[in-house]
Amino acid sequence: MNLELGRGYIDYLEYQNGHLTIGGWMFLKDQKFDSFRLKINNISLAEIDLIEREDVQKAFPFMQNALKSGFIFSSAVPEEIFSDWAEIEVLGIQQGREIARISIIYRSDFHSSLQEPPIKLMQRVANADNAMVYWCRALKSFGEFLEAVREHCDLTSIESLLDWGCGCGRVASLFLKHTKISQVYGCDIDKEAVEWCDKHLPSGHFSAINPYPPTHYSDNMFNIVIGYSVFTHLQQDVQFRWLQEMERIIIPGGLFFASVHGDFATSFATPQVQEAVRKNGISDSSLDQNLNGIAPEGYYRGVYQTKGYIFREWEKYFRIIDYRERLMGNFQDLVVMKKR
């Protein structure tokens, strides 16, 4: 059964001595939960009452279900479960029925041997002010990209992958550690983050790039390109320029996986943004201050666009073979494109 993806995050995940502790929040805009249920590999382990999360209510003041949205599970889990990747699900329960879910993949050694970036780099790439939140975000994004890539190609056939907008290697580090892709690249306009990757992820290939294409990469260089929350910050004309560049550097038949703020994300935006999206298919006029001093002034935006707009405009560059609403972080949509 395909359950609705709830709005929320897992922001605490710790496994020690056979004991799992997991915390976070989830809500639906139009339905209330009675409780939360924990499942691992589709096996129910526990059910708990809702916890108040004042920080979530503050972030979503107009969402009536945001306050009672929290959960903290503490449960014994055999060590062999997490010796390989396992799926952890938190499900929203209403009158005994599962009506919504958030999930994350996990294995106990997922970031062993990987160093943690400085807090300032974590904040820029994941809005995380501590390592626990950073790694939870990393696991979530890596698992979502990994699932999507596996659905559309044979993972063992991939020779080269580019993480476009890699930051300090949040996702690229896990592709390096947990896949057999021989050439993993990353690029970003954040030179400091790229330099950190160069020093601490020596098996990868990381480069600083300019905010506008072209890049230094060769034609037809990559089997796969992934981009998490990059188009969500690029104006319409800059999006077109980067789509053209990706078409150049991806091999014929290669795939481009990119997230966007689609219709669901737009429903959380301001009325002005929602009106612009309804009128134009895209809203790209709102400034985002998160990369002040790194991106050129006025470059970094908060951008929202409709599924219809994306099919109409992006099909000029790629063939769109899949569109997954709310897949990335249970908030952003994932667009899967194939080079003709």
- Work out the average pLDDT over 187-209: 98
Residue 58 confidence (pLDDT) above 80: yes
201 in a structural domain:
yes
98 within a domain of the structure (yes/no): yes
144 and 288 inside one domain: yes
Q: Do residues 74 and 156 both lie within one domain? A: no
**263 residue type, one letter:** D
- Going along the chain, which residue ranges are E strands? 4-5, 7-16, 19-27, 35-40, 43-48, 51-52, 68-76, 86-94, 97-106, 160-164, 183-188, 205-208, 222-227, 250-260, 282-287, 301-305, 319-328, 332-338
Above 70 in pLDDT, residue 1? Answer: no
Report the number of distinct structural domains present in the chain.
Answer: 2
The answer on 312 and 164 residing in a single domain is yes
Is residue 128 located within the same domain as residue 94? Answer: no
Distance of CA 77 to the CA centre of its chain: 27
Which of 84, 106, 128 marks a domain boundary?
Answer: 106
> Please, what is the average pLDDT of the chain?
97
One DSSP character per residue, 92-133 reads EEETTEEEEEEEEEE-TTTTTTPPPPPHHHHHHHH--SSHHH
Say what percent of the chain tops pLDDT 90.
99
Which of 85, 106, 127 represents a domain boundary (last residue)?
106
Same domain, 19 and 71: yes
Query: Are residue 172 and residue 252 in the same domain, yes or no?
Result: yes
Average pLDDT in the 75-98 region?
98
Examine the domain organization and report whether 223 and 331 are in the same domain.
yes
Whether 114 maps to a domain, the answer reads: no
**Is residue 144 domain-resident?**
yes
Tell me: do 208 and 89 sit in the same domain. no
Closest CA relative to residue 214, chosen from 246, 167, 185, 166: 246
Question: Based on the domain organization, do 146 and 281 belong to the same domain?
Answer: yes
In a domain, 92, yes or no: yes
Question: Does residue 330 form part of some domain?
Answer: yes
Task: Tell me how long the chain is.
Answer: 340
One domain for residues 88 and 168: no
- What are 208-237's pLDDT values in tens digits? 999 999 999 999 999 999 999 999 999 999
Please give the pLDDT value at position 73.
Answer: 98
Out of 106, 132, 160, a domain closes at 106
- For the stretch 163-191, pLDDT in tens is 999 999 999 999 999 999 999 999 999 99
323 pLDDT higher than 80: yes
**Are residues 79 and 182 both part of a single domain?**
no
- pLDDT tens across 261-273, in order? 999 999 999 999 9
From CA 332, how far away is CA 258, in angstroms rounded?
Answer: 10
87/127 same-domain check: no
pLDDT at 132: 96
Asked whether residue 161 carries a pLDDT value surpassing 90, the answer given is: yes
Model confidence over 107-158: pLDDT tens digits?
Answer: 999 999 999 999 999 999 998 889 999 999 999 999 999 999 999 999 999 9
Host domain of residue 26: 4-106
Q: For position 66, which CATH number holds?
A: 2.60.40.10
Specify the 3-state DSSP secondary structure of 165.
coil
What CATH number is given to the structural domain containing 150?
3.40.50.150
Which pLDDT belongs to residue 136? 97
Q: Does residue 112 lie in a domain region?
A: no
Per-residue pLDDT averaged across 6-31, rounded?
97
pLDDT class of 2 with cuts at 50, 70, 90: confident
Give domain status of residue 261, yes or no: yes
Q: Specify the DSSP class assigned to residue 32.
A: -
